[in-house]
Structure 1
Amino acid sequence: MGWEAKFGGTGLEEVNFVIWNVENLTDWTIQPKCYITTKDGGQRSKLFPVVLYKTPDSMSISVLSHSGPMVEGTEYQLQCNIQSIAPLRNLVVKWYKGNEPLDNVTYSNASKTPEDVSPTLMIIPSKDDDGAQYRCRAELDLGPEGLQPHPTVTSEPLTITVHCEFLRTVHIYKLC
């Protein structure tokens, strides 16, 4: 019995079970093969899929196509920039204003390799939102049997400044 793989292969051992152990793995396509020699001298094997999980290298939050104070009642788009995370199918991006959850974004991409993603959130701030802090959180949902708590990285907060929209009336007087 043994494991055949690019990394962590064991060779044939006369035992009832063999553990495949790799301390650091960065091969996103590896498929170790477990093999066994049967009593009649034949050999059977089975490939085991491996999924590597990677938290982001960096995260940031920004306002798209805008700088400076916001005007109440105007629509703005926030963007969460997540660099090099894998796999996307396990990623849940959570948006918050303060501690209030706003939205969750999930992905169905089957790619196993690290990717950059930039989900967005539309907001229409009111004057009460002046000083509000928005943040996004990348969580790798590994299911109930996976690592608990789930691996999570949160952006630094984005504090917004909101100016009131004033209705201005201009009177023009004609003097004769």
Structure 2
Amino acid sequence: MFPFGGWGLLSAFLALLCCTGSGEEAFEVHMWPEQLMVQSGESQVINCSTTCMQPNTGGLETTLHKILLEEQAQWKLYEVFNISQDTDVICHFTCSGKQESKSLNISVFYPPKQVLLKLWPTLVAVGRSFTIQCRVPSVAPLEGLTVTLLRGSEIVYSQTFVGTTLSPQEAMVTHNTTAHREDDRHNFSCRAEMDLRSRGGDLIHSVSDPQALDVYEPAQDNQMVIIITVVSVLLFLFVTSVLLCFVFGQQWHQRRTEPASRGKHGGPKGSASGSPQPGLPHHSGPSESHGQQKQSSPLTSCSVTGPTRDAAALAIPGVVGGVVEVEGGLWFPGLCQPRQQSLGQGWAFM
């Protein structure tokens, strides 16, 4: 049994030597950070390390400008500068004639440096709608960018963008809402957040300048006010014109009827006795023999006839303007009234 036991010990020893040799040849290469996002133009420190105890060579391969900050047998610390676009860097080590490497992708982002908020209209009535617009220019990547509209500390609206475009572009959020009475007591603002933690970056945020909204209580509809005002003015003018027409009509009617009344009830003296006044033409007819009843013939004219006299000498009280020619010796009441005495064939008037 001893020979078999000796072979067993020999086999175990050879296996141990084989495993030990394999452990020296098998090694790994690591990089830190494992994910990297930097702002355009920034620099970054990168660490390259290996599990090989005594590596022959090692280093960092990149197109960027780099410097070696510090090194030990199993690691090297580099700084790369002016990262302006997405790029790959490679860390490599050689151990016992075998080379291992690892690559790291560096992504460039454009943070939300500028956040612009706009309200329109800035003066709005309670219950009316207004628009909130927020713009974030030159930002990338859009994926992971969240734009939030705020009223004070209250969230009015929030939108998270998606997409893999790495080139800088503008992100814009527009939201329509209704004005409330308390809105004029709060400032509106916009917050842009870029979450790069899943890519090895940080949470970057930027806030716009606050803006105030002027809110007022709505008055009556201006168009309705104008209509009511115009209708009221027209109605007033109509009523006023009707009243004026009525007043002037009454005055005109009174002026027309008063002279006729004076001529009918208070004519020239002596006319009621039936005897003609001296110098006045008088024609007797059948009507005079029946109790002072007279029939007047139609008035042929109302004009100045007869000799021209001085107006003052011919003035007869109660008569204005001209001479009346009356057929049958009668004068027509209300139109031309006698003032004094006739001149030849007519009545004298002023």
Match runs of 1:10-49 below 5 Å: 15-27=73-85, 29-41=86-98, 43-49=99-105
Larger radius of gyration: 2
Match runs of 1:71-150 below 5 Å: 71-143=125-197, 146-147=201-202, 150=203
Contact preservation (8 Å) 1:4, 1:10: no
Q: Which of structures 1 and 2 has the larger relative contact order (alpha carbons within 8 angstroms, sep 6+)?
A: 1
2:220 and 2:190 map into 1 onto residues whose CA distance is 34
Match of 1:160 among 213, 220, 223: 213
Cα shift at 1:10? 6.4
Contact preservation (8 Å) 2:150, 2:190: yes
Range moving further from structure 2, 156-165 or 43-52: 43-52
- Could you say which residue in structure 1 is the equivalent of 2:291? none
The alignment partner of 1:137 has SS state of strand
Contact preservation (8 Å) 1:2, 1:10: no
- Taking structure 1 as the reference length, the TM-score comes to 0.77
2:132 and 2:97 map into 1 onto residues whose CA distance is 65
1:74 and 1:22 map into 2 onto residues whose CA distance is 56
2:66 and 2:101 map into 1 onto residues whose CA distance is 14
The alignment partner of 2:83 has SS state of coil
Match of 1:58 among 109, 114, 128: 114
1:114 and 1:20 map into 2 onto residues whose CA distance is 28
Unaligned residue ranges in structure 2 (runs of 5+): 1-57, 240-350
Q: When the two structures are aligned, how many residues end up with a matched partner?
A: 169
Contact preservation (8 Å) 2:67, 2:79: no
Describe the shift of the 1:36–1:87 C-alpha distance in structure 2 as closer, same or farther (beyond 3 A).
Answer: same
Contact preservation (8 Å) 2:66, 2:81: no
Describe the shift of the 1:9–1:44 C-alpha distance in structure 2 as closer, same or farther (beyond 3 A).
Answer: farther
- Taking structure 2 as the reference length, the TM-score comes to 0.42
Contact preservation (8 Å) 1:8, 1:20: no
How big is the alpha-carbon RMSD for the aligned residues of Structure 1 and Structure 2?
A: 2.8
